[in-house]
Amino acid sequence: MSSLAPRSDFPALQPRPGGGPVPAYLDSACMSLVPTPVLEAVNAYYTVHPGCAGRSVHRWAEEVSRLYEEAREVFARFLRAPDPQHLVHVRNTTEGINLVARGLGLRQGDRVLVSDQEHNSNLVVWQALAQERGIRLEVLKLPDDRTFDPEAFEGALARGVRLVSLFHSSNLDGRTLPAKEIVERAHDRGARVLLDGSQAAPHEPLDLAGWGVDFYALSFHKMLGPTGTGLLYGAPGQLEQLEPLLRGGETVSWSDYDRHELLPPPHRFEAGLQNYAGVLGARAAVDYLSELGMDRIGPHHQRLQRLAVEGLREVPGLRFLGPPDPAERGSIVAFVMDGVDPHDVALFLDEGHGVLVRSGMNCVHAWYRARGLTGNARASFYVYTDESDVERLVEGVRELRQHVGVSRPSAKDRPTAPA
* DSSP-based three-state secondary structure for 262: strand
- Assign 167 to helix, strand or coil: strand
Give Cα 240 distance to the centre of its chain: 25
Active site residue: 30, 44, 315, 363, which one? Answer: 363
* Number of Cα atoms under 13 Å in the Cβ half of residue 142: 27
- For residue 101, what are the contacts with CB-CB under 8 A and spacing of at least 6? 125, 126, 129, 165
For 3, other C-beta atoms within 10 Å of its C-beta total 21
Residue type, 351: E
Tell me whether residue 30 is one of the annotated catalytic residues.
no
Burial 349-360 (b: 16+ CB within 10 A, else e): bbeebbbbbbbb
Asked if 405 contacts 24 with a C-beta cutoff of 8 angstroms, the reply is no
Give Cα 395 to chain centroid, integer Å. 29
Give me the sign of the Cα torsion angle 258, 264, 267, 270. Answer: positive
**Contact at 8 Å (CB) between 64 and 258?**
no
Closest CA to 301 of 146, 142, 176: 176
Asked whether 96 and 217 are in contact (CB, 8 A), the reply is yes
3-state SS, residue 396: helix
Catalytic residues: 363
